[in-house]
Amino acid sequence: DPPQRGVLALHQRDGRGLERRLALPVHRREAAPRHATGGAQRVGLLPAGSSGSVGDVDALVVHEGVPCRDAMRRGEVVAFVAEHANEQFPEYTALAVAAGIRRVLSVPLRHNGDVIGTISMVRLTATDYSSDEIASAERLADVVAANIVREQTLRAALATGAQLEHA
């Protein structure tokens, strides 16, 4: 099987309601055969460079009707399948297909019952996400959310320390 090409994108709300975005082009490849990992299939992500890019990811997600915003609003995993999404995401579908996007899996980042952002996996091939991949994406979202909260807490503590130092 050829490697899957795509993009891993992060959308985060900050304290002022703004969104910060990060996009990383990736190749998906099999890291080890099932028999070598005790039956578990391991998958590796490698930077894809320009060959895995889908252009300006930010230009695609500025519209209201996009999977990541839908996942953020609903607080649920949202799967975009280009061939069947024209009704649900009419404007995005045309832009996504033109950019070569065939599948998107958007997973909410949750903390204390609030959605603080989303992480989206963008696939350039018409291969659906498996239940194992969806479960892995949800675990990754939990780790990313915990680290975002940890980073925000650290920044707040450092800012308070600096204020007290200058008081």
* CB-count burial class (<10 Å; 0-12, 13-18, 19+) for 125: middle
pLDDT, position 17: 55
Averaged in consecutive runs of 10 residues, what is the pLDDT profile of the chain (167 residues)? 57 60 54 42 37 52 77 93 91 87 91 88 88 92 89 88 85
Residue 3's CB is within 10 A of a number of other CB atoms, namely 15
pTM over 0.85: no
Please say whether the beta carbons of 95 and 86 come within 8 A. Answer: no
Residue 61's CB is within 10 A of a number of other CB atoms, namely 23
pLDDT, position 32: 41
